[in-house]
């Protein structure tokens, strides 16, 4: 009995507590690492491309620090740190990732590797110095003193005293000597670096595909007209200070165009429609896309229900979209939909162009540079600020008569802005 008691005293304790400790350590370890996953960015988006790595692996990050940028076929998305700690990334720029994929983690208890990373760099110069010193310790014999009669004569005889032929030897022509000179000439250097390659960004791929799609799936045609901007410029000059003071935003030309387009779409509703199978669907709302150029490419945020917006609301929405586009903060919902598009190449100096449709839309209006030109008004030649405008449309839905009617309506509304107030 005593022996049994002795054995029981020396037996190890149950392994259950140690298992619990291991499980708790595992859970604690998991909590130490905050995973970074690709978030959902819209119903139609299933994957993204890793763009700029804002923070490198091994760096210390704080909560809400920007980590990396994801590029999609619609927008760019920045991922932020959800915890403070040391960052570890598991992806590289240009790599394709899927929604929900883990692209890295933040270790909340690890220390930054910047200090350890600098240690091997300190030893590199020493190794290089040793490698460079070896050739100096053992000079080649050929670099020392030369012996023999030939070497002695070479040093004594002056170059001009050496026996060099001063003329072409007998039996040889000058033409026979030329090939020898050509063979001794050094080969020409190859010209390098005349071409560079870079991978297409995700948004550039989408732009390319959409442009080709528009050319292949629509019967696109363009009609042109010109607009006298005298009335709009006078109204803008008259009310710009009061408008800015009251609404906190500048009065631009785009709000006039948006209002004129809404009025023209009411006149010609086919330009606010699209083809679905064997049917033409007419939109009863007026969502206008405004093309905005960015460093990443052209994007088209959409102004919703423009028929309900005031001039100030249009200008504020455009300003907000432009800022979000420059900062890469546009959401997918900002770009989806739209029944008609307005694009302004005039800000880049374009005088005339043929804008390309944005399917499934069947109309796009192109603005251009305002330029003073001589025009005839009441049989008099006068100088007026003029702008060429271009309307591209899908001829499958819209006939030429309707397209011209639309563009003339826009022209009349902009040359006499009071028409927008009384809706004529």
Is 10 inside any structural domain? no
Is 335 inside any structural domain? yes
Last residue of a domain, one of 99, 114, 129: 114
Q: Are 232 and 253 in contact (CB under 8 A)?
A: yes
247 among known catalytic residues: no
Q: Give the pLDDT confidence score for residue 180 in this predicted structure.
A: 55
Is 122 inside any structural domain? no
Catalytic residue among 2, 395, 409, 416: 395
Q: Give the pLDDT confidence score for residue 311 in this predicted structure.
A: 95
User: Which range (196-210, 265-279, 280-294) has the least confidence?
Assistant: 196-210
**What DSSP element (H or E) covers 339?**
none
Let me know whether 87 and 217 are in one domain.
Answer: no
For the segment 241-276, what is each residue's pLDDT rounded down to a tens digit? 999 999 999 999 999 999 999 999 999 999 999 999
Domain encompassing residue 290 = 202-422
How many C-beta atoms surround the C-beta of residue 116 within 10 A?
10
395 among known catalytic residues: yes
Is 157 inside any structural domain? no
178 alpha-carbon distance from chain centroid: 57
User: Which range (26-40, 180-194, 257-271, 285-299) has the least confidence?
Assistant: 180-194
Last residue of a domain, one of 114, 145, 180: 114
Is 210 inside any structural domain? yes
Is 310 inside any structural domain? yes
Residue written as tokens 């919902």?
333
pLDDT band at 390 (very low <50, low <70, confident <90, very high): very high
Is 21 inside any structural domain? no
Q: Are 232 and 256 in contact (CB under 8 A)?
A: yes
Total number of domains in the chain: 2
Query: Which residues are CB-neighbours of 55 under 8 A, at least 6 positions away?
Result: 61, 65, 66, 67, 68, 81, 87
In angstroms, the CA 300 to CA 322 distance is: 10
Which of 270, 242, 299 is closest to 74 using CA atoms?
Answer: 299
Let me know whether 234 and 349 are in one domain.
Answer: yes
Let me know whether 206 and 108 are in one domain.
Answer: no
Let me know whether 352 and 211 are in one domain.
Answer: yes
User: Which range (58-62, 90-94, 146-150, 176-180) has the least confidence?
Assistant: 146-150
Query: Which residues are CB-neighbours of 47 under 8 A, at least 6 positions away?
Result: 72, 96, 97, 98, 99
- Which CATH number is 242's domain given? 3.30.559.10
Is 107 inside any structural domain? yes
Catalytic residue among 29, 241, 282, 399: 399
Last residue of a domain, one of 91, 114, 137: 114
């Amino acid at each position: 009995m005593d022996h049994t008691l002795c054995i029981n005293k020396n037996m190890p304790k149950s392994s259950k507590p140690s298992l619990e400790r291991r499980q708790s350590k595992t859970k604690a370890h998991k909590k130490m690492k905050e995973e970074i996953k690709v978030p959902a960015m819209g119903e139609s988006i299933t994957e993204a491309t890793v763009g700029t790595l804002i923070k490198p692996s091994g760096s210390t990050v704080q909560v809400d620090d920007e980590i990396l940028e994801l590029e999609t076929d619609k927008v760019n998305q920045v991922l932020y740190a959800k915890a403070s700690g040391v960052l570890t990334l598991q992806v590289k720029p240009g790599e394709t990732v899927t929604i929900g994929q883990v692209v890295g983690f933040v270790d909340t208890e690890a220390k930054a590797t910047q200090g350890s990373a600098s240690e091997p760099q300190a030893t590199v110069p020493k190794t290089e110095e040793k490698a460079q010193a070896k050739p100096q310790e053992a000079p080649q014999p050929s670099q020392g003193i030369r012996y023999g009669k030939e070497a002695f004569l070479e040093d004594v005889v002056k170059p001009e005293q050496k026996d060099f032929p001063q003329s072409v030897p007998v039996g040889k022509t000058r033409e026979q000597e030329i090939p020898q000179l050509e063979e001794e000439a050094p080969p020409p250097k190859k010209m390098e670096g005349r071409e560079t390659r870079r991978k297409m960004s995700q948004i550039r791929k989408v732009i390319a595909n959409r442009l080709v799609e528009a050319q292949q799936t629509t019967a696109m045609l363009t009609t042109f007209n010109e607009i006298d901007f005298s009335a709009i410029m006078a109204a803008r000059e008259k009310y710009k200070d009061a408008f800015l003071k009251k609404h906190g935003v500048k009065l631009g030309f785009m709000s006039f165009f948006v209002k004129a387009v809404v009025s023209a779409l009411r006149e010609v509703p086919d330009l606010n429609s699209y083809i679905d199978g064997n049917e033409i669907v007419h939109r009863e709302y007026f969502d206008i896309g405004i093309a905005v150029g960015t460093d990443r490419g052209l994007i088209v945020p959409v102004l919703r229900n423009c028929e309900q917006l005031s001039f100030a609301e249009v200008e504020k929405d455009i300003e907000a979209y432009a800022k979000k586009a420059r900062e890469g903060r546009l959401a997918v919902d900002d770009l989806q939909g739209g029944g008609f598009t307005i694009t302004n190449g005039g800000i880049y100096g374009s005088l005339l162009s043929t804008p390309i449709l944005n399917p499934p839309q069947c109309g796009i209006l192109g603005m251009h540079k305002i330029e003073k030109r001589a025009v005839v008004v009441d049989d008099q030649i006068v100088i007026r600020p003029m702008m060429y405008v271009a309307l591209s449309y899908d001829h499958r839905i819209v006939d030429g008569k309707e397209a011209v009617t639309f563009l003339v309506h826009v022209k009349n509304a902009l040359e006499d802005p009071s028409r927008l107030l009384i809706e004529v």
